[in-house]
Structure 1
Amino acid sequence: MSEIKIVAASIVNFLRQQLEGESLNSDSKESIEVGVQCIETGFELSQEELSKGIDLLQLIRQQRGNDTVDRAEAEKLKNEGNDCMKADKFREAFDKYTKAIKIDPRNAVYYCNRAAAHFKLGEHEAAIADCMEALALQPNYGKAHGRLGLALAALDRNVEARASFDRAAQLDPDNESYKENLRLAEEKLLQASPRETLDLGGLLQNPALLNMATEMLSNPNMQNLISGLMNNTASTPGSGRMNVLLEASQALAQHMQAANPELVDQLRRQVRPPGPGDEQPPAQ
């Protein structure tokens, strides 16, 4: 007996169970009886085949019970991870949160908690990735914005860190730590030299950069790359998305380098603070 016939037989059996109950009125029962006859005829179901149908209600109840057990196990692992964090056992906490995520990958709290473990382990890029996962599931998750700000600040990405702390403070205005971290990020930005602060407006008004962007977007190869990036990012779970984005960024950088190396070198000098071996501007 084919799987399709098993499904059809299960539906017929379920509908017949409803016909025997008292929840349907006469008009509804008449419509369902017609539906049962159509399914039996359309799939050519014999009485023997009907007897092999699955009890759909029992299957659903069993699945719901399994889901409840799984969620309880995931919560247990999360709580154990929290205990490990309090005991400064950050690697053990990371393992607990990872197991919870495997059970329930749609829970933003588990990603946010694992981001805290990453941060304590000095794995700031991984912490950023987990915060982004949490925010993809729950965009107004204040704690995820706050932890994202901490990881960004640890990497001296102060413009992005300030935006994250600002959003966290908006979502949780009573949290003093968000306000303090926002103040510190703003202080760092004020103390930064002009060469350390990226002028995005100036970059976007650069005619050569705009021309390069236009040429890249009209290039069929680049169009295929962008299309593939969107598809791969959507279909890749968890932190694997970061690898997809990095690969795409490298491909874009290589294309820019090949198309206009002089412009790329100019942009590097504009974005990067001068190092010991860089040419210094003449004294005024």
Structure 2
Amino acid sequence: MSDEDKRAFVGDFVRFLRQEISQMSQTPDLVESLEVAVQCLEAVFPAPPESDVNAWELFRTARETAGGGGSGGDGEALKNEGNRLMKEEKYQEALLSYNRAICCDPRNPIFYCNRAAAWIRLGDYDRAIADAQMSLKYNPSYCKAHARLGDALVKVGRLEQAINAYQEAVRLEPGNADYQNKLDTTRQRLQDQPNDGTANGAGMNQGLAEMAARMMSDPSVNEVLSYLNDSNSIESLLNTGRQLAMQMGAQNPQLFSDIRRLLQSNPNVANLVNTIQQHQNDSGGSDGSGGPGGPPPTSSPPN
């Protein structure tokens, strides 16, 4: 039992005790004892969100069933009642009907599968997955349970597992167009998802954009750019770029590894850098700044 289920169970029991305390006409000592018990339970199990599921009603129904008060026929009638309530979009009421049906016949895979549909409508996809799996436990060839499991898995983003579930449903019932459509749609969704490399590149580009914005707001950078605009010199631009690169590299060594990954993932940026370097080489040959005896051109910032 998950922690959430434990809290929900204890929370329902605490609400039952509070109701009894408000209605009982016992001695103050007994009332105080119950109040202490409630406080202790709430201290160990923090109160969960309010639920429309009546745990006391479920317990009473299960107790009557265990004592012979229920049968498979009763379970079928309760299932039909739940189906009617689902059509009326009364999902909480339908859930209670399916709960009672399961109490009458705890091994019926249809009851669990139908309750999984109610959980999906209520947005509790983990419980829908659990009920679909329970249905398949009692009937592994129940194609509707495979499809419903796929529906719940899609809701939580587990697309590969959903595809496996839909594939099994199609295998068991190959003529079902609905199952095939769900399988094709989920496959397409999985293909359309960005891979890790793309996601990382997007995050890295965003980080570089933020860094550029900070640089442009720096008065010293603006002063340098103003100077370049006046001098109109590509060589001055390259020299200034090298100086800025050395300064930023000293402050943030990780920056250049990010830039290298950006260059590898974006051919357009790499081509631009190669063009600038070629221009620098051509300029060096004419004025001697990059020729023999002069310093070699810098192809990448220092690490």
Q: Normalising TM by the smaller chain, what interval?
A: 0.3 to 0.5
Quick one: higher RCO (CA 8 Å, sep 6+), 1 or 2?
1
> TM-score with structure 1 length normalisation?
0.47
Greater Rg, structure 1 or structure 2?
Answer: 2
> TM-score with structure 2 length normalisation?
0.44
